[in-house]
Chains A and B, each alone.
Chain A
C-alpha cells in the first residue's frame, strides 16, 4: 500500500459548487497533515496544515479522521481560480523529514 493515496479525478464542478476530496494515509502514527495546491506546470504551494481535528481558512476546510486514516479538503463556493491539482502530504512520525506526496486530485471548475 502506498504511503498516501488520492483519487486522481478529475472533479469537474460548476462555479459556486461545493466539492470535497479525500486523502488516505497508511501510517497511523502520523501527526501532521498538509494540503498543497499545484497549478499546471508550476511548483506546489502550501494551502493548509492540519495538526488536530481540522482547520478552516475562508472557503477551504481541512478535516482529519484518525480512525479511518484520511484527511479531507472541502472547498465551498468554488471559483474558476480554484482549478488546480490538490496534493496531500503526510510525513511519517518516525521521520518527519520524509515528505511523501500523494499523486494529487485534479479539480476543474467550469463557468
Chain B
C-alpha cells in the first residue's frame, strides 16, 4: 500500500520558471492538503481540498495554484517561482469523519529556487 506519493522528491528551479508538484493517494481519502515547511517555522498550510471538486486557501496561498484532478490526485503549481518559495513541500490526506483526523503525509519535495 503506497499511501501518499509525491513527485518529484527534489527540484531546482530558476526564478520565474513554473512547475507542478504532483500528489496522489490510494487510500480513498476525501481531504487533501499542501503544506510548506521552512526552518524554524513548522508546517504552513498552502491550500486544501475538503473533497473532490473543492479547493480552499490556507495560511500562505499567494504564488500557488492547486487542482483537485480527481479523488486521488491533488497538484500544486508554481506559475512563476521565486526564491521565497524555496522550501520543503508536503502533501497530506485524511478521511472525513470524527475519529479519523489522522493526516497521512507524503515524503516531501525539496524545492530550491535560484
A contacts with B: majority SS: loop
16 extra A-B contacts, CB within 8 A, seeds A8-B40, A104-B42: A36-B103, A42-B108, A43-B107, A44-B103, A46-B103, A49-B101, A91-B101, A97-B31, A98-B45, A98-B58, A99-B92, A99-B103, A100-B59, A101-B43, A101-B45, A103-B41
Tell whether B50 is near chain A: CB-to-CB under 8 Å: yes
Q: How many residues of A contact B (CB 8 A)?
A: 24
Bound together, the chains give a CA A100 to CA B92 distance in angstroms of 13
Q: Is the CB of B45 within 8 A of A99?
A: yes
- Please report A residues at the B interface, Cβ cutoff 8 Å: 6, 8, 32, 34, 36, 41-46, 49, 87, 89, 91, 96-104
Bound together, the chains give a CA A47 to CA B9 distance in angstroms of 25
> Which chain B residues lie closer than 8 Å to A41 at the CB level?
108
